[in-house]
Amino acid sequence: MKIPVFRWFVFAILVVAFAGLAACSGGGNDDPDCDSDDPCVTRTPRITPPPTHTPAPTSTPGPTSTPTPKATATAAPNACLPSSSIGILVQSTNVTAYAPKGSWGSCGPSNGISVVPIETSAGLGKGGPATPITTTELVNSCSSNSDTGQTVCVANSTHVFLVSGTTLNSTSASGATGSQTFSGGNCMNCGVVVDSSTNRALITIGLTGTGGPGGYQFLDLGATPPTFETPIPAGAFTSEDASIDPVRKLVLSPNEQGNYQIIKTGGATPELFNNNVTGTPEFDSAGEDCTTGIALASDEFTGNLFIADLTQAKFTAGTGGAAGTWTAPSQLQNLFPGLAAGTNGVAVAPGTHFGVVTGEFGGALEGVYQLPSSSGTGTPKLVDSVLFTVPNDPSKAPWSMGCDPHTVTAYVSPNSHKAFAVLGNGSFTFLAVVDIEGMLKAPRTGGMVTDPTPFVTFIAQ
């Protein structure tokens, strides 16, 4: 009997023990049953938050991925300027003119080049006196690459001069084999314009035989030494002042026979296209607003400017080696009567819609204009234009515009960001720097600026 009693006793103890454990564990219930007499360690539940809905990023309007427009120009300081006489170098806050002392004809029988400080951070005409560069023959045209600081100048002969600062570094010879004859004189090398986007200089040259009397030759300034490329026969006379469009890879060359020639240079080989304009205007110089593709040409012995929209141009390729043709919406606008020998020199300040037009071989009456800010539809026309008289120079001499190639160019100030024209006189004694927009905004009477004096600064050559 002792054994059964003991078994019941053990069984009772086990029942009580299991009951206590059940009480402390909650007996399968999630709520603890603990008090001060029978505490139990309660695990702090780890609360897992419900999944938070993260909204998809809201599409904030921003730049839309679109093809880069081919017509948008990053205008270099000399982009689309013509191969006129005066070269312009823009570096930092300084602007320097390279002004030859020669021409194709009777004006400027002196050799050499004047390096003229036009502008510094202190203002116009504050850069000190001009520095001469000596040459052994007449120089007719200069053009600068503002990215490299190099300037190219050409003589009436085949000689080509490379200049840095005020130092003549080298002399070489172009591939000219003959002379071109213009209304303003004769030349083997007739003008130069630098394309800073490719670091090449374009020289208009005379060629004898088939493909002449004019042609074009590029000089690769990036090669060591600089290397002349094969001449491109024009099959006609070139322009007195040709121009390069670095955006559309074109050379613009309107000539005195009324042919506005364009050369496409973006392909493996150059392609020539002619536009023999109705009425045979006597084109003298090319010009262009690079930002819109609106091209210009002066029309000697008239008050006309030819204006065409190159963004609407249609080019038809030639066959059998002949030049092709091109057409575009265009017109002649007669807005500049009274200029000496008509409209001759023309230039548009790069990156702006402001330009200048001048006579030649004398006279003080010149013009400025504003081009349209857009292109692509309709026939282009000038937005505004006005004539002005260049005042007497500081020596009290009446202004007398220079000869050929045309002594005019344009630039945008790195300091004031204004568009300026730079004019040279026939005696090579002064440059006149003209505030183009200031002239257009000035009071006028009968299409003439009433008082142009505040908008002209003279700088000695």
Flag whether pLDDT at 260 surpasses 50: yes
Instruction: Supply the pLDDT for residue 2.
Output: 37
Q: Could you tell me if residue 143 is inside a domain?
A: yes
* Helix/strand/coil for 167: strand
Distance CA 439, CA 449 (A): 7
Q: Could you tell me if residue 34 is inside a domain?
A: no
Instruction: Supply the pLDDT for residue 290.
Output: 94
Q: How many CA atoms lie within 13 A of 458 on its CB side?
A: 17
Q: pLDDT tier at 89 (50, 70, 90 boundaries)?
A: very high
Q: Could you tell me if residue 243 is inside a domain?
A: no
Tell me what the pLDDT averaged over the chain comes to.
87
Q: Could you tell me if residue 146 is inside a domain?
A: yes
Q: Could you tell me if residue 164 is inside a domain?
A: yes
Flag whether pLDDT at 12 surpasses 80: no
Q: Could you tell me if residue 141 is inside a domain?
A: yes
Flag whether pLDDT at 242 surpasses 60: yes
Q: Could you tell me if residue 407 is inside a domain?
A: yes
Instruction: Supply the pLDDT for residue 327.
Output: 98
Flag whether pLDDT at 24 surpasses 70: no
**What is the length of the chain?**
461
Nearest to 287 by CA among 226, 240, 236, 319: 240
Q: Confirm if 376 and 409 have CB atoms less than 8 A apart.
A: no
Nearest to 156 by CA among 89, 219, 107: 107
Distance CA 155, CA 173 (A): 10
Flag whether pLDDT at 295 surpasses 70: yes
Flag whether pLDDT at 69 surpasses 70: no
Q: Could you tell me if residue 379 is inside a domain?
A: yes
Q: Which domain holds residue 210?
A: 87-232+349-460
- Secondary structure (DSSP) of 52-112: P--PPPP--------PPPTT-----TTTT-B--S-EEEEETTEEEEEEES--SSSS----S
Model pLDDT for residues 133-188, shown as the tens digit of each residue: 999 999 999 999 999 999 999 999 999 999 999 999 999 999 999 999 999 999 99
What average pLDDT score do residues 275-294 get?
A: 97
Flag whether pLDDT at 394 surpasses 50: yes
Instruction: Supply the pLDDT for residue 71.
Output: 33
Instruction: Supply the pLDDT for residue 75.
Output: 61
Flag whether pLDDT at 61 surpasses 70: no
% of the chain exceeding 90 in pLDDT? 81
Instruction: Supply the pLDDT for residue 14.
Output: 34
Model pLDDT for residues 425-451, shown as the tens digit of each residue: 999 999 999 999 999 999 999 999 999
Instruction: Supply the pLDDT for residue 105.
Output: 87
Flag whether pLDDT at 72 surpasses 60: no
What average pLDDT score do residues 45-72 get?
A: 34
**pTM > 0.95:** no
Model pLDDT for residues 369-382, shown as the tens digit of each residue: 999 999 999 999 99
Instruction: Supply the pLDDT for residue 109.
Output: 75
Specify the number of domains making up the chain: 1
Instruction: Supply the pLDDT for residue 54.
Output: 36
Nearest to 153 by CA among 163, 167, 164: 163
Model pLDDT for residues 310-348, shown as the tens digit of each residue: 999 999 999 999 999 999 999 999 999 999 999 999 999
Model pLDDT for residues 105-129, shown as the tens digit of each residue: 878 779 999 999 999 999 999 999 9
Distance CA 205, CA 289 (A): 25
